[in-house]
């Protein structure tokens, strides 16, 4: 083990002035049986450090065939190994100058033992949660209503929240938000997604009741809905339908009221019509669509962003179903899929299908610049693929 005089002699040989250095010198030595495989190092930003210091957990998620991600309660991070040319030493007893107590100007020698070393570390980068698998799992056994009489519910896999947390590469808050987006509900402790036809049946009961009672769509009384429709469907399902397609509030008398969302109701009606046809004549579709939505609601094409694709170049103009949730999650695969469907896109047409790919502080324009090539066609700016499109 070195002594102070040996350190000072080494500095003289290296022609380093002692006054240019901190007065404390650390002498490092390797402990017994130290190897590079003993420890894994991870680089954390201030936010993640504070979570650890507060006793919160960081959870690594992923099946055997998936690339691992790290999750907090509300965010998801990509895990990647970063190599470094510098050897990283794990020295628990070593202190940085700001951690040392007030020390005199006289030289001091301190000893610390190396517990481990590595030439790589885990690097974290914020990423979008991988949620496509969530709907896929729930669609293995969609809920189409309670069993009738002696009939038993069709067998199939069901998932609790704990099951989903084990299988889905996303934080709890991101999973809960997506469950709400796909209109899933918890039934007897299991999260279920409603069969779309059954969901539309529930919505039909509600809108027909609103029409028969001549209620305003913004003033649908919750208690009366349950009383009138409770004999047709479970009350929990009626409430779930109102939560999916309306906004809950209380009036001056404390009565619970729902305001039905026109855009959501019209969008669901359009999906019901479009899922039964490959393509629709646009003008005929708009006529049928307006006739199908509840009287007093207005069906507009801007309600179909991310749900339907318009072809203005065909004669006659057509519309077809293209749901954003049916497209790949990976950015390159998403663009490849879109450009295989249509060679050239306007920004207005493609934007709804790439908006969810944007990272923090990233715009759809930046995404298009990176993954597409722009040109002007008949005075309109269009985008086509930068790469050969795989079919």
Report the CATH number of the 196-260 domain: 1.10.10
**Three-class SS of residue 290?**
helix
Bridge-based pairing of strands 24-30 and 76-90 is unpaired
- What pLDDT is attached to residue 351? 95
| Cis-peptide into 189, omega within 30 deg | no
Each residue's pLDDT expressed in tens, for the chain with a length of 391 residues: 778 888 888 888 888 887 777 778 888 888 777 776 677 888 998 999 999 999 999 999 988 888 889 999 999 999 999 988 888 888 887 877 777 776 666 777 788 888 888 888 899 999 899 999 999 999 999 999 887 765 666 667 899 999 999 999 999 999 999 999 999 999 999 999 999 999 999 999 999 999 999 999 999 999 999 999 999 999 999 999 999 999 999 988 889 999 999 999 999 999 999 998 889 999 999 999 999 999 999 999 999 999 999 998 888 999 999 999 999 999 999 999 999 999 999 999 999 999 999 877 889 999 999 999 999 988 889 999 988 876 6
- What pLDDT is attached to residue 220? 95
- What pLDDT is attached to residue 115? 82
- pTM, to two decimals: 0.84
Q: For the chain, what's the residue count?
A: 391
Q: How far apart are CA 342 and CA 372, in angstroms?
A: 13
- What pLDDT is attached to residue 154? 62
The beta-strand segments (E) located in 202-333 are: 220-221, 246-250, 256-260, 280-281, 308-311, 318-321
> Residue 131 half-sphere exposure, CB side, CA atoms within 13 Å?
22
- What pLDDT is attached to residue 51? 92
- What pLDDT is attached to residue 36? 67
How is residue 297 written in tokens? Answer: 């609601």
- What pLDDT is attached to residue 104? 64
Q: How far apart are CA 219 and CA 74, in angstroms?
A: 34
- What pLDDT is attached to residue 224? 95
- Specify the residue for token string 């951690």: 99
Bridge-based pairing of strands 256-260 and 280-281 is unpaired
Residue extents of the structural domains in the chain: 4-126, 131-193, 196-260
The single-letter DSSP state of residue 281 is E
Contact 70, 94 (CB under 8 A): no
Q: Give the relative orientation of helices 222-229 and 196-212 as an angle to the nearest 10 degrees.
A: 110
Q: How far apart are CA 268 and CA 359, in angstroms?
A: 28
């Amino acid at each position: 083990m070195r002594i102070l005089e040996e350190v000072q002699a080494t500095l003289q040989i290296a022609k380093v002035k002692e006054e240019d250095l901190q007065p404390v010198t650390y002498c490092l030595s390797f402990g017994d049986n130290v190897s590079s495989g003993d420890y894994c190092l991870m680089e954390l930003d201030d936010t993640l450090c504070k979570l650890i210091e507060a006793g919160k957990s960081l959870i690594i998620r992923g099946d055997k065939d998936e690339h691992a991600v790290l999750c907090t309660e509300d965010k998801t991070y990509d895990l990647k190994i970063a190599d470094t040319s510098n050897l990283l030493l794990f020295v628990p007893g070593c202190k940085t100058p700001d951690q040392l107590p007030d020390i005199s100007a006289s030289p001091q020698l301190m000893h610390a033992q190396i517990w481990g070393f590595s030439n790589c570390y885990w690097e974290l980068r914020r990423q979008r949660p991988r949620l496509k698998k969530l709907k896929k799992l729930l669609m293995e056994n969609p809920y189409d209503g309670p069993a009738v009489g002696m009939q038993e519910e069709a067998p199939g896999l069901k998932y609790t929240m704990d099951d989903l947390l084990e299988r889905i590469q996303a934080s709890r808050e991101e999973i809960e938000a997506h469950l709400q987006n796909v209109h899933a509900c918890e039934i007897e402790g299991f999260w279920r997604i409603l069969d779309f036809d059954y969901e539309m049946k529930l919505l039909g009961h509600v809108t027909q009741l609103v029409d028969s009672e001549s209620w305003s769509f913004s003033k649908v009384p919750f208690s009366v809905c349950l009383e009138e429709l409770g004999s047709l469907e479970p009350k929990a399902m009626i409430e779930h339908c109102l939560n999916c397609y309306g906004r809950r509030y209380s009036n001056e008398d404390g009565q619970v009221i729902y305001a039905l969302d026109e855009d959501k109701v019209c969008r669901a009606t359009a999906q019901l019509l479009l899922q039964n046809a490959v393509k629709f004549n646009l003008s005929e579709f708009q006529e049928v669509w307006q006739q199908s939505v509840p009287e007093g609601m207005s069906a507009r094409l801007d309600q179909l962003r991310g749900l339907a694709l318009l072809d203005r170049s065909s004669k006659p103009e057509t519309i077809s179903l293209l749901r954003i949730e049916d497209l790949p999650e990976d950015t390159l695969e998403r663009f490849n899929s879109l450009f295989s469907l249509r060679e050239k896109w306007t920004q207005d047409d493609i934007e709804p299908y790439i908006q969810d790919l944007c990272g923090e502080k990233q715009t759809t324009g930046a995404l298009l610049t990176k993954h597409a090539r722009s040109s002007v066609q008949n005075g309109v700016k269009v985008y086509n693929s930068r790469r050969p499109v795989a079919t």
